[in-house]
Amino acid sequence: MKSTAQAIGEVAGRFGLPANVLRHWESVGLLAPSRAEGRQRRYGPDDVYRIAVILRAKEAGLGLEEIGRMIATKDVGARRDVLRRQQATLARRIAEMQASLRLIECALECDHEDFTQCEDFRAVMTDRLAMAETGTVAETDAGLGGRRPASVMARRPRGGGRRGRAEDSSVCRAT
């Protein structure tokens, strides 16, 4: 019967990682591959799955120490504590990125020569400045739920129509 275990180079290549990353993860206790003759590491299906878990956890913002605690603990409460902290951090990061995306979308949708002078763009920035002054940046961004601030929506025509300005032939298409 053929073994499903793979050498370090094969497994690292599957994930687009240098082999030294897997060696490091082993040195900090995240991986424990079996050893073949000559002490060569052999990674089985469970090891490959663990690598995928580690990578996804890193993508979620967890550090190796937190990943180790999460994986090693048999205490469900301790694992949930680690995950709840990261959930809150991720929610804040997502809210910040959504706010940044709204800012970029507003600038992209603006036809003004200088988008920073556009009243809609300024409204988005005014809201951001107000949040910074009150220290509620993350809270307020999270509360927007992916919507534009009301100060911008109040000035937009319904139906996504274009609005011209008498003093300026440029239009802002932000909706």
Task: Write 82-89 long-range contacts (CB < 8 A, 24+).
Answer: 86/60, 86/61, 86/62, 89/61
Does the structure show a pLDDT above 80 at 171?
A: no
111: tokens are 């036809």
Overall pTM > 0.85: no
Assess if residue 153 is contained within a domain: yes
- Calculate what percentage of the chain has a pLDDT beyond 90: 41
Tell me, what's the pLDDT at 172?
58
- Shared-domain flag, residues 13 and 44: yes
CATH of the domain at 53: 1.10.1660.10
- Shared-domain flag, residues 55 and 140: no
pLDDT digits (tens, 9 = 90+) for 134-145: 876 544 444 444
Assess if residue 1 is contained within a domain: no
Tell me, what's the pLDDT at 3?
64
- Shared-domain flag, residues 136 and 107: yes
Assess if residue 148 is contained within a domain: yes
Does the structure show a pLDDT above 50 at 146?
A: no
pLDDT digits (tens, 9 = 90+) for 42-90: 999 999 999 999 999 999 989 999 999 988 889 999 999 989 999 999 9
Domain that holds residue 57: 6-67
Mean pLDDT score, 93-109: 88
